[in-house]
Structure 1
Amino acid sequence: MKRIILNYKLAILLIVVFSLGSCKKFLVEEPINSTFSEAYWKSAGDLRSALAGNYALVRNVMNSGNWNPSPRYFMYGDAVAKNYFTIQYSGDGLEGIQDGDFTFQYNLQYFADWTNFYKAVTMSNIIINRVPKVSDELLTDVTSPSKFKNEILGEAYFLRAFTYFMMLRVWGDVPLVTEEYEDPISAPELARSSKKDVMVQIEKDAIAARDLLPWQYSALGNAKVTANKGAVNALLAHFYLWKATMSDVNSNQPDADAVEKADKAIDEIISSGMYSLTDTANYYKTFEGLSSEGIFEISMSENNREGTNHHIANLFLRTAQLSTVGTNSRCYVPQDYLSNHFYKIEEIWDWYWNASLNQWEWKSMPSRSFDDSDIRCRRNFTDLDSDKPTCVKYQKVFYRNATQKLDPYVSNNLIVYRLSDMRLLKAEIALYKNQVSTAINIINDFRERNGADESSFVNDSSTKEEVMYEYIVERGKELYLEGQIFYDLLRTRQYSNFVPWLSESRFRQEGFYWPINPALFKNNNKLIQTSFWRGKV
């Protein structure tokens, strides 16, 4: 009965928040019902329900997309980098983003709209405003009311920082809303804040979360899928590297102070002893979720009835893995991605023309060829001999109608931060510090661990630029389809090698940011379009 009441309260709270943002003003439509507000914040269960609602809204942000479905987290972070996977035409114009055109009608309607993000922010604001006002005397079912409230607040601060960080990387300048309005109808219309101000707020919230949250989880069931100090440090590592390299796109010199802060955040994660790399013999466990490597994940386990049919896997899997789809998936992996990332170098003997001697010579020359010995190639991809290989990195499918194999739900958690990601970031940091040999060792350790051919190891004599290229190749292997690739390419300035539509000129104009949906202008006269897209949308 207690679980039913908890779920009922959570449902009511989510209904209230989902009603926000649909738009008398840019963010909200109706004030929170005062009777409901007075009746709600009265117990530890109420606070837990509110926080669960916040996580649900963040999950909705990442999984929402168009009707196909196409989860936005992967569209922003992976799909726009066309050379990593190809979206086939399906009537929604989504393939347009792979050529750098974000103006197709449905892309503007669904992916250029930040409404869902602000619903999550609104929920964080509500919690941050109200939890400190809850009397300790009401929290009779927790051992330490102050510790309990601090953890609720810490997670809300983390979720607000995380949500704004997602928006920062997609739009740059976004409106900053950090307070709860008792009457949202009279809330002010807000202009877009500069990305510099948004970064200040993200850092402030993340540091508040880190100060409030412990390393250990208060409940075993919260591990990995709720925030702890490790999750906050992982967010800060990515944030500081973004700040270091993307605050000024006209400079290729990273900010040393931000780089150092990223390094420190990762060192805290590693030295905590909370995480360890998954044994390669159990490779799939990392992507099913809750592995020893996971730092922060979005729960999608069907064991908790949280599986989804809006997973990125739905765009790749075919009949062999998902009985309700055909043999031709919406997305496939280009052969060029496979050959450029998984390779070995062999000595090939052949006749070569020696122009200086004006004669043919029989000799050996190094040549790159595709190699599938790396476990990340063998386990993540199938149909390698076809012209349209597919990705099976996420393939834990449950059928709610098991007898007929109908009503399938993908049960892989959405992996946000994990230890391999952090360890690879150390190589990027080393390169920014001109510690080239350190970066080489990190990259080669990854290749050795995953069984790559030794001929693909980075040579000790490689230049800094050559190592940076190999680093981004390694990120592309390790973090394929984890929502990270495009941001990696921007930070490291390697986009020119992998994203054909993004020229240096467009990069300097910040043409990688998305426009905002023109519909959002109707109720907020202070909004202006993203600079690159003015006159184009």
Structure 2
Amino acid sequence: MKNKYLIGSLMCAMVIAVLTSSCKKLLEQTPQNSTYSEVFWQSSRDLNSAIAGNYALLRAAANSGTYNPSPRYYMYGDAVAKSYFTMQYVGDGLENIQNGDYTFIYNLNSLANWTSYYKTIAMSNIVLSKVPGVPEDKLTDVTNPAQFKRKIMGQALFIRALSYFMMTRVWGDVPLVTEAYEDPISAPHLPRSPKADVMKQIEKDCHDAIGMLDWGYTNTAEAHITASKGSVYALLAHLYLWRATMTDVRSNTPIAADVASADTTLTAVIAKGGYTLTDTSKYYDTFVGRSNEGIFELNMSENTKEGSSWSIANMFLRSNYIAYNSDNSRNYVNTGYLNDHFYKLTKDWQWVWTGSQWVWTEVSVKTIDSLDVRYRKNFDYRGTDRPTCIKYHNVVYRNAGQLQDAYVSNNMIIFRLSDMKLLQAEVALYQGNTGKAIDIINSFRKRYGASPDAQLATDLTKDQVMDEYILERGKEMYLEGHIFYDLLRTRKYETFVPWLSSTRFAQEGFYWPVYPSLFSDNNLLKQTSYWLGKI
């Protein structure tokens, strides 16, 4: 194909044909080629199938990776921040990304390849192109055909916006495609658009989607796993904070207008979304999915046979969670992460050298805060040198009798209420309201039963509170695809990402290269600037 990241009507024919048979299994489909665009777009079932296909493509993109289980959503957002967990060598070179080396051929072919995102975007563009022309008198089985069409289009806009947001955080500048091309052969070659333009398009798509979607769901089967107003507001909040801090990496002063927009957006989603925090006694419910805390998730439930045998959990879980797994898991949690994040300050008397004499002095000593629910629930083998993460361990055996064919039945959580509430502390810090940020952080520690000695004092400086904020994000959002981006926004990357120096950061060396094969048919594409001459 002339343009490898534009798939146009060929993708439409393939995906739509797949989805006319079922909307339940959003991922495990076999492409067919017997259905064509001219006989589609004739009923509400067609439109529902098309948007189901759009979600399926988004999920496939987020879950794709190398030939070993390595979902890109977590590789980009978590794995590259090496201080949080370690990937052992197994022959695929994936562990190299934890040293800031993205040049290994398997990683270039998979994680540096943006094709799967453009498949998702192409489907969104097709939906947005076709749905307005569907005659409302064809939609006889829906109460309000005009509203139904708006809902479908609002979801397609959200999926396109989310796809571009995921991409711009990984590559920065990316080609901006917003048209559906009927003939992919004649589709134009496009260069990479500046990230500022990409973020402007994301913002526009979100604002358009807000006018088409509702806060809640009339169909409970769609709750949390399809887009709502709350999903869009959550995406906007992240967009504004990313744009505020990452538009110009040479500046450490956030863009005040974007911080203010993030503030009002967070207030709206928290106040109007109807979301509630999960009771800590039912902690794992949030990560199984579709809890009242969930704002947007990608469905990966075995209830519809959509669990994953290639989940991020497969990289951590040992034999007592998946019977045939090794006790030497691919990934393990760094003990330093646990010690640095889950700590409390206790008083002790020690001899301290003042420079001229030893003095018996009362000092504060850091010890593990083992009371925090997140410490107890998220990690196992804590007393060893290789703890493991069990945040996602809802394993279902399709062959239960022989404990074979294990599928992890945990949704991929993209946005949830705790995320939004913590982001309010970041906004407060950017706005100089240190006291508010302290209150938010302390409320999280109290909620999870942390030791009173883990509470922050009220006289900390702004920079000290920012340090504690990034620790709190590291506890709350562990292995949810956010940590690396949090570190970039807050400029705390050097503490937790050993390979990312301030010099490399200023060169935007945190962005990924583009798979070189994508250049072969498009001479307008250019390599990510940091990686020029390195690949």
Bin the TM-score by the shorter chain.
over 0.9
- AA partner of residue 254 (structure 1): P
Write the distance in 1 (CA, Å) between the matches of 2:415 and 2:533: 37
- AA partner of residue 228 (structure 2): N
Contact persistence 2:42–2:134 (CA under 8 A): yes
Q: Which residue of 1 aligns with 2:7?
A: none
Contact persistence 2:351–2:359 (CA under 8 A): yes
Write the distance in 1 (CA, Å) between the matches of 2:468 and 2:355: 32
Relative distance call for 1:17 and 1:264 in structure 2 (3 A) is: farther
Out of 423, 428, 452, the position equivalent to 2:421 is 423
| Corresponding position: 1:514 with 2:527 | no
Q: Which residue of 2 aligns with 1:120?
A: 120
Stretches (4+) displaced over 3 A: 4-7, 13-19
Write the distance in 1 (CA, Å) between the matches of 2:503 and 2:263: 31
Out of 446, 453, 457, the position equivalent to 1:459 is 457
**Partner SS, residue 286 of structure 1:** helix
Contact persistence 1:316–1:332 (CA under 8 A): yes
Q: Which residue of 2 aligns with 1:274?
A: 274
Identity within the alignment, %:
57
Task: Give unpaired runs (5+ residues) of structure 2.
Answer: 1-16
TM-score of the aligned structures, taking structure 1 as reference length: 0.94
**Partner SS, residue 523 of structure 1:** coil
Write the distance in 1 (CA, Å) between the matches of 2:272 and 2:352: 56
Contact persistence 2:181–2:187 (CA under 8 A): yes
Write the distance in 2 (CA, Å) between the matches of 1:407 and 1:147: 42
Q: Which residue of 2 aligns with 1:55?
A: 55
Q: Which range is displaced more, 169-178 or 452-461? A: 452-461
Write the distance in 2 (CA, Å) between the matches of 1:82 and 1:353: 35
Shift of 1:16: 12
Shift of 1:217: 1.2
Shift of 1:5: 9.7
**Partner SS, residue 346 of structure 2:** strand
Shift of 1:192: 0.5
Q: Which residue of 2 aligns with 1:69?
A: 69
**Partner SS, residue 520 of structure 2:** helix
Q: Which residue of 2 aligns with 1:29?
A: none
Q: Which residue of 1 aligns with 2:490?
A: 492
Contact persistence 1:18–1:119 (CA under 8 A): no
Task: Give unpaired runs (5+ residues) of structure 1.
Answer: 20-31
Write the distance in 2 (CA, Å) between the matches of 1:477 and 1:385: 18
- AA partner of residue 522 (structure 2): N
CA RMSD of aligned residues (A): 2.0
| Corresponding position: 1:184 with 2:184 | yes
Residues 170-220 of structure 1, C-alpha deviations (whole Å, 9 max, x = no match): 000000110011111011111101101101111111111111101121311
- AA partner of residue 90 (structure 1): V
| Corresponding position: 1:350 with 2:343 | no
Write the distance in 2 (CA, Å) between the matches of 1:18 and 1:512: 36
Write the distance in 1 (CA, Å) between the matches of 2:404 and 2:394: 15
**Partner SS, residue 396 of structure 2:** strand
Q: Which residue of 1 aligns with 2:468?
A: 470
Q: Which residue of 1 aligns with 2:265?
A: 265
Shift of 1:371: 2.1
Residues 333-353 of structure 1, C-alpha deviations (whole Å, 9 max, x = no match): 001000000011122223233
- AA partner of residue 21 (structure 2): Y
Relative distance call for 1:307 and 1:14 in structure 2 (3 A) is: closer
Relative distance call for 1:66 and 1:125 in structure 2 (3 A) is: same
TM-score of the aligned structures, taking structure 2 as reference length: 0.94
Write the distance in 2 (CA, Å) between the matches of 1:472 and 1:127: 39
Shift of 1:306: 0.8
Q: Which range is displaced more, 42-51 or 369-378? A: 369-378
- AA partner of residue 170 (structure 1): V
Contact persistence 1:9–1:46 (CA under 8 A): no
Q: Which residue of 1 aligns with 2:400?
A: 402
Question: How many residues are treated as equivalent by the alignment?
Answer: 519
Shift of 1:452: 1.2
Out of 429, 433, 436, the position equivalent to 2:434 is 436
Structure-to-structure mapping, 1:3-18, within 5 angstroms: 7-8=20-21
Contact persistence 2:18–2:31 (CA under 8 A): no
Relative distance call for 1:462 and 1:18 in structure 2 (3 A) is: farther
Write the distance in 2 (CA, Å) between the matches of 1:15 and 1:451: 41
Q: Which residue of 2 aligns with 1:22?
A: none
